[in-house]
Amino acid sequence: MRVIGIDPGLRNMGWGVIDVAGSKVVHVANGVCKSTGTDLAARLLSLHAQLTDVIFTHNPQAAAVEQTFVNRDGAGTLKLGQARGIAMLVPAQAGLNVGEYAPNAVKKTVVGVGHADKTQVDHMVRMQLPGVQIAGPDAADALAIALCHAWHGRAAGRLDAALQKAGA
């Protein structure tokens, strides 16, 4: 299964694509969509177009997006939420199911600690995807989101198999 992880941001939207086959995970690609334009609508449109190209190019079968956390800056949180809307809309338009993960859940899954910093996330992504060249911190976060989705999918698959076996 091919998974795209998306780290929403209004200026920089990170993305990372991995292939998952059982316990084997392979890096496919990663990058950052950088918004252009002078107003919010133009910036959102540019993110939509760039992410649509990424989805079309890499043809993932599942998507995962990091949930937005609310901070003290209400206006900033709202703008991030609008970028997150683009991050969820584009895969949905491609017919993909979109998983959502809290930042602490992603960090706990990939690093083992829910309050890990960006350097720890980057390091563990590199450990799990040997030889990967990461396009920047937003792309590292996106790969971590994809890894989180893959891990949770494998765990759910094992649970389903165990339940089927118990019922048989």
Catalytic residue numbers, as ranges: 7, 66, 138
Looking only at the bridges linking them, the beta strands covering 12-21 and 2-7 are: antiparallel
Give the bridge partners for 15, in sequence order. Answer: 6, 31
Sign, CA dihedral 132-135-141-146, equals negative
How many residues appear in the chain?
168
Which of 45, 16, 9, 14 lies closest to 32, judged by CA? 14
SS3 call for 99: strand
CB 32 within 8 Å of CB 136: yes
CA dist list (Å): 47 to 6, 43, 155: 12, 6, 32
CA distance 106 to 130: 19
